[in-house]
Amino acid sequence: MASRSPSIAASAACLLLALIADPRLVSARTVTVELVSGDRVTGELVESSDARTVLEHPVFGRLVIPAAQKRPEDPPRSGLFGTRFLEGWKREIGFGLSGSEGNSPESSLRGKLSLSRRTEDLRWTIDGSYKLALEGGAATDHFGRLDSRRDWLFRDSDWFAFAGTTYQFDEFEPWKHRLQVQLGPGRHLIRDDSLELDGFLGLSLTYEFGDVRTLRPEGLLGLELSWAFRDGMELSFSNRLFPQLDSTDIRNLTRAEWKMRIAGFRHLSLTLGFDNEYDSAALEEPNSLKYWSSIDYDF
């Protein structure tokens, strides 16, 4: 079944490798500095230290901003319930409900939990989701997923290292359970206050168990985009290609989310998203498309 998409896989691999390896395709880091006066200055970052920030401005040239003139950063988030648990972490939960009535009543529940933390030296994300859909009292869709990834960031460098794990459960897949570990180097391709684009290159090992048992050594090529294109709106997109190392099979996972803050509710947002997994080794339909909407609460 893998023969249906070898040219697509090869083209995608070449494109991702070029984006990661060619420095001419990498934009200089653009940042915005907010001053104590309330003014904001945007330019290419030349130097950043405890004493000063140096920017290259398109009109005024090189600007040196002393630390005393910069607006202090917001304090880190407090922990849960007055403790230090998850202190400094961004936390978000979301729920989506749907239903229908008629000859075959259907209802579904989808929940999500997202945790993230970022400092100068690390970036850590944990994302979990669960869905149960019932029709006439019988489950028609039942799955869960938990992703965790830690990035080790190197100061004054566009390169970083990453390691991650993924656990999946799907009652209606032959494998039922899937456990994956992955690691390798990554590169910041674009970094500014509103747009980030990262490339990933590494190795992955996937173990599937349930009705079937499969061990897959895989390569990993990926892109990840985060774009805050308007105040209160954010678009995220990722694509990861997993070519199997001991065969010609491939998997490709595409995911996108659009998030909009709900006017008048500082901590509430509406999220629309989808993910699609293509698996050339699937026994039946190679594509598995899932889409959702949810109301998310940032705490």
267: domain CATH number is 2.40.128.130
Number of CB atoms found within 10 A of residue 12's CB? 18
For the stretch 228-269, pLDDT in tens is: 988 789 999 999 999 999 999 999 999 999 999 998 898 999
Give the whole-angstrom CA distance, residue 59 versus residue 267: 37
- Asked if residue 12 belongs to a domain, the reply is no
CA distances from 184 to 10, 167, 236, 284 (A): 20, 19, 22, 32
**Strands, E, within 154-249: which ranges?**
159-170, 177-191, 195-209, 214-230, 233-243
pLDDT of residue 24: 46
Would residue 145 count as lying in a domain? yes
| Within-domain flag for 11 | no
pLDDT value of position 83: 83
pLDDT value, residue 285: 87
CA-CA distance, 176 to 131, in Å (whole number)?
Answer: 14
Q: Report yes or no on 94 lying in a domain.
A: yes
Determine the pLDDT at residue 184. 98
Question: Which residues in the chain show pLDDT less than 50?
Answer: 1-5, 23-27
Cα(141)–Cα(270) distance, rounded to whole angstroms?
23
Q: How many domains does the chain have?
A: 1
> Contact at 8 Å (CB) between 175 and 196?
no
- N- to C-terminal Cα distance for the chain? 45
- Is residue 79 within 8 A of residue 86, CB to CB? The reply is yes
So what's the pLDDT on residue 9?
A: 55
Task: For 123-164, write each residue's pLDDT tens digit.
Answer: 999 999 999 998 888 899 899 999 999 999 998 899 999 999
Q: To the nearest whole number, what is the mean pLDDT of the chain?
A: 87
pTM recorded for the entire structure: 0.75
Joined tokens for residue 42: 């945007």
- The verdict on residue 209 lying in a domain is yes
CA pair distance 253, 53, nearest whole angstrom: 39
Domain span holding position 118: 77-298
Q: Is residue 40 part of a domain?
A: no
Quote the longest CA-to-CA distance of the chain: 70
- In-domain check, residue 261: yes
Q: Looking at residue 93, what is its pLDDT?
A: 97
Position 72 scores a pLDDT of: 77
Distance from chain centroid for Cα 17 = 19
Query: Nearest to residue 194, comparing CAs of 225, 172, 215, 150?
Result: 225
CA distances from 172 to 98, 215, 245, 288 (A): 20, 19, 26, 11
> What is the rounded CA–CA span in Å between residue 130 and residue 63?
49
* pLDDT the model gives residue 31: 77
Collapsing DSSP states into helix, strand and coil, what is residue 152?
Answer: strand
Task: Tell me if 76 sits within 8 A of 84, measured CB to CB.
Answer: no
Domain membership of residue 72 (yes or no) is no
Nearest to residue 69, comparing CAs of 45, 42, 37?
A: 37
Please spell the DSSP secondary structure of 240-292, one letter per residue: EEEEBTTSS-EEEEEEEEEEEEPTT-TTEEEEEEEEEEEETT-SS-SEEEEEE
Q: Residue 24: phi, psi to the nearest 5?
A: -70, -20
